């Protein structure tokens, strides 16, 4: 198991025990990111090329009731607010522009038993801060590992000592769709972590300070730099609704079929519903894309150039005709 050899015991425990595994229920949400692993047999590193900058004083809040995560922070003073995408909301705080982005999440399957703790799975509410970030976390594929966890190459951001983290969706599309699409199931399905859509966790990692735009990472690189790399960012997990600008926070992303009774969304009159963007929409296909390391090598580049997704894939070929690309 490559992951076992590369990660220290605390990180391995966090990923394999607190978050690992997936359930077998069919997904019903719209297509999000293609599962490139069906082509390459390996995970790819994902790159953020969207318009949002890294934020000053970022913070993450999670509602375990509504299954939503809110990222807030200040824009750099020189940033042009006209470049903000439509799913971002703004407020003025202390004379500065604060932005807010809400993402759907999946939380702990509290009706299932954790065989290690011999107790139900759960998320731990409380005030936390990010401990480390792994920008490129490949799935566990090996003959030794028969219970592979589908990390998908997406970032893994640990924020709590019990092993809880923000990471990718884990689940892929059901057999009927040939397993070709990553899908988040918004609802209580995880083993304790907060799962997110692939493009969302890539963007979140970028917003809070992990370089998802320019660095060519070795898989399972752990970033622990204090006050950088997205480390030390507050992550406030609540068994309550969370609010922004005087209203509760919700996401337009649908709750997974059959779990509606277990997700408590705030009343429409009392909430702000943030649009949920996805990489299948033409206007967003250049925001997140897979890193073609062969292309970097051909260009004699060690870092990823600005605007990489559009430069490498000017017509979003990786998404619309991704089956012919090897990436590695």
Would you give the end-to-end CA distance of the chain in angstroms?
A: 20
Which residue shows structure tokens 């970030």? 133
Contact 207, 73 (CB under 8 A): yes
Contact 193, 128 (CB under 8 A): no
Phi, psi of 308 (to 5 degrees): -55, -45
Give the count of beta carbons closer than 10 Å to the beta carbon of residue 37: 21
Task: Tell which residue, 173, 184, 172, 50, has the closest CA to residue 106.
Answer: 184
Residue 265 and residue 44: Cα distance in Å, rounded?
Answer: 34
Per-residue pLDDT of the chain (328 residues; tens, 9 = 90+): 222 223 333 443 345 445 754 433 333 344 567 787 776 678 899 999 999 999 999 999 999 999 999 999 999 999 999 999 999 999 999 999 999 999 999 999 888 888 888 888 888 899 999 999 999 999 875 544 445 688 999 999 999 987 899 999 988 766 666 677 788 999 999 989 999 999 999 999 999 999 999 999 999 999 998 778 999 999 999 999 999 999 999 999 999 999 999 999 999 999 999 999 988 888 999 999 999 998 999 999 999 999 999 999 998 888 777 666 655 4
Burial of 94 (0-12, 13-18, 19+ CB in 10 A): exposed
Tell me which DSSP letter residue 14 carries.
I
Domain spans of the chain, in order of start = 2-285
Taking the domain 2-285, which CATH number applies?
2.40.440.10
The pLDDT value given to residue 286: 93
Specify the length of the chain in residues.
328
Q: Is this prediction's pTM over 0.85?
A: yes
């Amino acid at each position: 198991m490559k992951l076992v050899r590369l990660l220290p015991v605390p990180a391995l425990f966090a990923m394999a025990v607190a978050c690992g595994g997936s359930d077998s229920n069919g997904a019903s949400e719209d297509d999000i990111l293609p599962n490139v692993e069906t082509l390459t047999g390996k995970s790819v590193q994902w790159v953020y090329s969207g318009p949002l900058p890294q934020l000053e004083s970022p913070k993450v809040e999670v509602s375990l009731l509504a299954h939503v995560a809110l990222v807030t922070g200040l824009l750099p003073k020189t940033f042009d607010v006209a470049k903000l995408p439509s799913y971002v909301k703004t407020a003025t705080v202390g004379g500065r522009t604060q932005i807010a982005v809400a993402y759907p999440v999946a939380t702990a399957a509290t009706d299932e038993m954790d065989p290690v703790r011999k107790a139900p799975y759960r998320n731990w509410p409380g005030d936390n801060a990010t401990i480390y970030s792994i920008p490129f976390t490949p799935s566990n594929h090996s003959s030794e590992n028969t219970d592979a966890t589908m990390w998908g190459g997406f970032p893994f951001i640990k924020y709590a000592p019990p092993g809880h983290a923000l990471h990718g969706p884990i689940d892929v599309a059901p057999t009927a769709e040939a397993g070709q699409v990553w899908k988040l199931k918004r609802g209580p399905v995880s083993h304790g972590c907060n799962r997110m859509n692939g493009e969302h966790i890539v963007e979140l990692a970028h917003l809070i300070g992990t370089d998802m735009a320019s660095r060519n990472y070795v898989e399972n690189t752990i970033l622990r730099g204090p006050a950088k790399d997205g480390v030390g960012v507050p992550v406030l997990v609540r068994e309550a609704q969370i609010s922004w600008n005087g209203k509760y926070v919700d996401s337009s992303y649908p709750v997974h079929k059959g779990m509606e009774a277990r997700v408590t969304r705030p009343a429409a009159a009392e909430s702000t519903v943030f649009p949920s963007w996805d990489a299948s929409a033409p206007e967003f296909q250049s925001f997140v894309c897979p890193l073609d390391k062969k292309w970097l090598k051909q260009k004699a580049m060690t870092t990823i150039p600005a605007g990489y997704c559009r430069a490498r894939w000017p017509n979003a070929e990786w998404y619309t005709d991704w089956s012919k690309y090897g990436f590695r």
